[in-house]
Structure 1
Amino acid sequence: MMHRPFAKSHAKTNASARGLRIAIVCAEYNPEFTRPLLSETLAELRALGAKDSALRTVRVPGSFEIPIAAAALARSKKFDAVIALGVVLQGETAHAEHIVVSAAHQLQTIAVSTGVPIVNQILSPADARQARARCKPGKLNRGREAARTAARMAIVLRELET
């Protein structure tokens, strides 16, 4: 087995999305937060060199529905990565936590079983103030972070396959 030195892409903080096919599954629930999350994700992917023709956006009713759509996209083998976007505000019961934990578990299972990276940005802020801070347009938007992570993971997996 050949020893490979630490690949250059691993040292980068930003990755290129040029030539990558990326799908985004975005919950419609809490649109005041998910809309800017989605628009910033798309903006970052374009800034990283992704072509609109290589991007696919799928809207689902809520965060609990994200895994089944992500599974269909990953199994299609048409995409190098899938990004999951949703916002589940914490409430007075554990319902929000159950949704977020269940979705996270399913997304990781799908990623491992298909070999397609799935970036989980189903956020679970305590309140609307925290949600706004994570979803407002700008460099700290979690959608931008998801776009960079998806590009990096797609590149890492390509390198591992060679």
Structure 2
Amino acid sequence: MAAPPATSSAAANSSCARLPGAPLRRAPAAVSFPSRPRPAALAAHAGPSQRLDVAAAAGHQKLMGSLTSNEGLRFGVVVARFNEVVTNLLLQGALETFERYSVKAENITVVSVPGSFEVPITAQKLGKSGKFDAILCIGAVIRGDTTHYDAVANSAASGVLNAGLSAGVPCVFGVLTCEDMDQALNRAGGKAGNKGAEAALTAIEMASLFRHHLG
């Protein structure tokens, strides 16, 4: 009996191959889908040459405060006397920054309070007076052997936030919360910079934003 003709492996694997007596079956045609534009979220991760300026493309307006448009802006500075060796340095950095950015001395009011716990209520009072465009809150809370540190640090942070919300005036948090005196001094003009100066920059920008764009 003659053997059936051999088929090549290519023919056996072909999409048109069939068994003897079986109907011919064709492979389904490939279906292509139209390409869609990438979502903005993916475009944001594209390379510099592919990145889209979504806001500009959509015609959105971008509002931002300025460090130079500060003519007539008025600032309140609340500074805690507790840990005065630190807070005086923070205050000095803030005042030097105000001067560097042409904020006039007569437009700055410095209020001294006993400690960081008293800063928020004072900031709220200044904010509600309507005399200031921003309030800068300065203090230093350093951890000790009791839980007093946690209570004061948390109260200062939440208090300054609430002061700004209730007064409708930017209240900038410039209260250091450090593990020890070395950390505090490093952040009050040492190797970590001066956080009082940084907070003053934030106060200027926020005051400008509210005065010129959100007022």
TM-score by shorter chain over 0.5:
yes
Structure with a larger share of its residues in helix: 1
Q: CA deviation at 1:113?
A: 1.6
Q: Report how many aligned residue pairs link the two structures.
A: 156
**Stretches of structure 1 lacking an aligned partner (at least 5 in a row):** none
1:131 corresponds in structure 2 to: 184
* Identical-pair percentage: 35
Q: Which has the higher contact order (CA 8 A, sep 6+)?
A: 1
2:8 corresponds in structure 1 to: none
Larger radius of gyration: 2
AA of the residue aligned to 1:142: K
Pair 1:24-2:77 in alignment: yes
- Give distance in 2, aligned partners of 1:42 and 1:21: 13
- Give distance in 2, aligned partners of 1:55 and 1:137: 25
SS of structure 1 residue aligned to 2:90: helix
AA of the residue aligned to 1:109: N
- Give distance in 2, aligned partners of 1:147 and 1:139: 16
Pair 1:5-2:61 in alignment: yes
2:121 corresponds in structure 1 to: 68
SS of structure 1 residue aligned to 2:206: helix
Could you list the structure 1 runs, at least 4 aligned residues long, displaced by more than 3 angstroms after superposition: none
Is contact 1:36–1:137 with CA below 8 Å preserved after alignment? Answer: no
**Stretches of structure 2 lacking an aligned partner (at least 5 in a row):** 1-58
TM-score (norm 2): 0.68
Please list the CA deviations of residues 55-95 of structure 1 after superposition, one character each: whole Å capped at 9, or x if unmatched.
Answer: 00000011111112111100101000000000010112221
| Stretch moving more, 133-142 or 28-37 | 133-142
SS of structure 1 residue aligned to 2:205: helix
SS of structure 1 residue aligned to 2:178: coil
The structure 2 residue matched to 1:47, chosen from 100, 118, 127, is 100
